[in-house]
Every structure is written in structure tokens, then in C-alpha cells.
Amino acid sequence: MSAAGQPTDPTDLTKPLAGQQPSSSGPDGTAGAHGAGSDHTAAGAHGAGSTKGGGGGTGPLLTVSNLRKSYGDHVPLRDISLTAAEHECIVLIGASGSGKSTLLRCINLLEVVDDGVITLDGTDITDPRVNADRVRSDVGMVFQSYNLFPHMSVLDNIMLAPRKVRGVGKATARADAMAMLERVGLANKAKARPDQLSGGQQQRVAIARALVNKPRLMLFDEVTSALDPELVGEVLALLTELKTEGMTMLVATHEMSFARDVADRVLFLADGQVAESGPPEQVLAAPQDPRTQRFLRRMLG
């Protein structure tokens, strides 16, 4: 939004980022600077004209209105609507195939929606004129697969997008990357290669890579599902810290204890729709929808 609280003209977001290399985006829409084979990396970095910094509005940071997404006869999202206020943590729960991952991918512009509108701080980011890398400067995303470059050090993995996409100088990019490694408790692993780290450590590096771009909204898609049980806690602890610090977050997870203890709101997705929404003590302890009740019985025993 502008300082006057008016929605930003989407054409403000159509220009390439300062210092951005010619596009060679992969099939998932991530910036070419992440390199061939790095599908699902947290893309983008802020530049002139991004929505970073917000406007003078008092509305939600994120609005999803009547979203529909299909793949042939398969329709993972059917008329989904939600809002996320700044600093709010929303946890998405639901069975596999309920649309959680597809919803997050649509918000990060990794999927083209069939119908509906997504706005970020008042800007319609589903407008086809919008530059996806500018949007991803404000929206970081972390997946269950870490997708770190195996031939690069941890530090170089985090420096890559600021250097190649934003054109940040090497010294500044290095300082920012080290600050993020300090933030996630892995400064002593800066020179290590990804295969020298545990799964939990690799996921924390992936989170640091997303945070280095200073996003306003973070999307987490089942970030603990590929981890050994003993490593889940360290990643959830980091997400809890981010929530405490005020990061706006959408988290798709099967970790019901995290949803209960950390979420401001829980959304239960079923059949491509938001079947139930409310504070965790309502949705998890006293669900009203029979589908929510059945899901929780399976999850909690």
C-alpha cells in the first residue's frame, strides 16, 4: 500500500529487481539465480517497488479471496478464503491432499491460480503483470526438502540469492548471511557442506536462507516431516522463536502440539476448503465440524 493507504498499482511490481540477472526461472517459478535443479528454494529479495515496509493501511497483511486451483479433474483448492494480520501465526492442518501445500505454493506464486485473488498489503499479487521475484522478496518459503546446493558451503548457500538476485556486494551479503547463521545457532557451521550437517541443521540453514531477505511473511510447508523424530524439536523451537519475535507465519504441519502452543489461529482444510477455523483451544479441543473431529481422532488417538 501507499503511505495514503491506497492499494499499490500492480505495475509497480513488474520491473526486475535492481541487480537481477536475466531470468532463467525453473519450472516451479523460482528465480534463476538459485541455479538449475534448485526447485523449491526460498526465492527473491527486496528491491525498489516491493511491498516491503508496508503502507499506511490497517487491513490484513495477507488476504486470500475465493481461491481455486485445479490440475485437470483434480481440484485441491475450492473457493478458499483467509486473512492473516501482521505478526499473526496461522497453522494449517488437514490430511495429506487437503490443499495445504497447494495453498502455500499459490501464495508464493509457484502456482498460477484458476480463480480468486491474493493480496499482500493491499497489492493484488495474482495480477499477471506482477514480477514474482518482487513478491518473493516479501514472502519467504521453506519446504520439507532443504534443497541446499551440495557443492557449496552453508555460508555460500545463504549468500547466493542476495548476491545474484539483488546484486548485494559480497561483504554485505557475507555479513548478512553470518548474522542469519548466528540467528539460527549455526555460525560454527558456516564453512561446512550440507552433507556434513544433520537434517535438522540443514532445515535451519534453509530457514536462514529465507530470512536473509527480510521477508514480511513466512510460509512453512511441512518443514519437519522429513526429519528424524529427535531432530523435530530444534526446528519447531526456531519457528516458535520467530513467532515470539513477531514474524507473520503460515505453517502447514502435522505437529499438533506446535499448533496448540504457538498458533494464534488454526485452520482445518478438507476437500480443498477451510472446513473449520478458530483459536487452537476451539479447533483442537472442541471442534465443531465432523471432518475435524475425525481428523483429530486419527492424529491424537
Architecture of domain 19-49+79-300: 3-Layer(aba) Sandwich (3.40)
Ramachandran region of residue 210, left (φ > 0), alpha (ψ -120 to 50) or beta? Answer: alpha
From CA 32, how far away is CA 290, in angstroms rounded?
Answer: 45
| DSSP strand pairing (265-270 vs 248-252) | unpaired
Average pLDDT for residues 147-160, to the nearest whole number?
Answer: 96
pLDDT band at 16 (very low <50, low <70, confident <90, very high): low
Average pLDDT for residues 74-79, to the nearest whole number?
Answer: 96
Instruction: Break the chain into its structural domains and give their ranges.
Output: 19-49+79-300
**Cell numbers linked to 49:** 517497488
Phi, psi angle pair for 298, to nearest 5°: -70, -40
Query: Which three-class secondary structure state does DSSP give residue 208?
Result: helix
**Cell numbers linked to 203:** 532445515
Contact 82, 109 (CB under 8 A): no
**Burial (CB count within 10 angstroms: exposed 0-12, middle 13-18, buried 19+), residue 272:** buried
**Cell numbers linked to 71:** 490440475
Residues with Cβ within 8 Å of residue 104, at least 6 apart in sequence: 92, 141, 219, 221, 250, 252
pLDDT band at 161 (very low <50, low <70, confident <90, very high): confident
Phi, psi angle pair for 78, to nearest 5°: -130, 100
Phi, psi angle pair for 297, to nearest 5°: -65, -40
pLDDT tens digit string along 177-202? 999 999 999 999 999 999 999 999 99
How many Å separate Cα 279 from the centre of its chain? 21
Alpha helices in the chain (DSSP H): 100-107, 132-138, 154-164, 170-183, 199-211, 229-244, 256-262, 280-283, 290-300
Contact 227, 200 (CB under 8 A): yes
Identify the helix (H) or strand (E) that includes residue 292. helix 290-300
pLDDT band at 256 (very low <50, low <70, confident <90, very high): very high
Average pLDDT for residues 207-219, to the nearest whole number?
Answer: 95
pLDDT band at 288 (very low <50, low <70, confident <90, very high): very high
**Cell numbers linked to 188:** 560454527
Looking at the DSSP bridge assignments, the partners of residue 269 are 274
Average pLDDT for residues 231-246, to the nearest whole number?
Answer: 96
Cell 497483511, residue located: 61
pLDDT of residue 174: 97
Residues with Cβ within 8 Å of residue 74, at least 6 apart in sequence: none
Q: Provide the mean pLDDT of the chain.
A: 85
Average pLDDT for residues 47-60, to the nearest whole number?
Answer: 51
pTM equals: 0.83
Higher pLDDT, 286 or 59: 286
pLDDT of residue 18: 52
pLDDT of residue 2: 43
From CA 195, how far away is CA 232, in angstroms rounded?
Answer: 18
Residue 297: how many other CB atoms lie within 10 Å: 10
DSSP string, 101-119: HHHHHHHTTSS--SEEEEE
Alpha helices in 18-169 (DSSP H): 100-107, 132-138, 154-164
Higher pLDDT, 145 or 263: 263
- pLDDT of 42 higher than 70: no
The sheet that has 74-84: what strands, in order across it? Answer: 74-84, 62-71, 115-120, 123-124
What's the CA angle centered on 104, arms 3 and 90, to 5 degrees?
A: 70
Looking at the DSSP bridge assignments, the partners of residue 221 are 252
